[in-house]
Homo-oligomer: A and B are copies of this chain.
Amino acid sequence: MDDTGTRGYINRKDDYLRRLRRIEGQARGLQRMSEEEKYCIDILTQVSAMTKALQSVSLGLLDEHLNHCVVEAAAKGGREADEKIKEASDAIARLVRS
């Protein structure tokens, strides 16, 4: 956990909130399609679109994390830098494998 108050995405928080609200809307849309017994392939197409939207949110968050938290920790060096890199690598592995 980090407690330095550095949050890379804060400058673009409104953008992320807007994208996450749209993703929430997609999740509701999927429930409606399923409720109305829409065709499975059409539901799957919506799931793929939603997955792509989520992936794009993660890549954005990760980029800002590298640009802020990781760069700052690296500039300080030492154990904190190592830990931040380890943490970022683990998050990247989770994204690539999910």
Contact = CB atoms under 8 A, between A and B. Distances in A.
Interface of A: 1-2, 7-10, 13, 16-17, 20-21, 23-24, 27-28, 30-31, 34-35, 37-45, 47-48, 50-52, 54-55, 57-59, 61-67, 69-71, 74-75, 77, 81-82, 85, 87-89, 91-98
B16 A34 contact: yes
A61 B47 contact: yes
A28 B24 contact: yes
Contacts of A7: 37-40
22 contacts: A2-B41, A7-B37, A7-B39, A16-B34, A20-B34, A23-B27, A24-B24, A40-B64, A40-B65, A41-B91, A44-B94, A47-B54, A47-B61, A48-B95, A50-B54, A51-B98, A54-B54, A63-B92, A66-B85, A66-B88, A71-B81, A95-B96
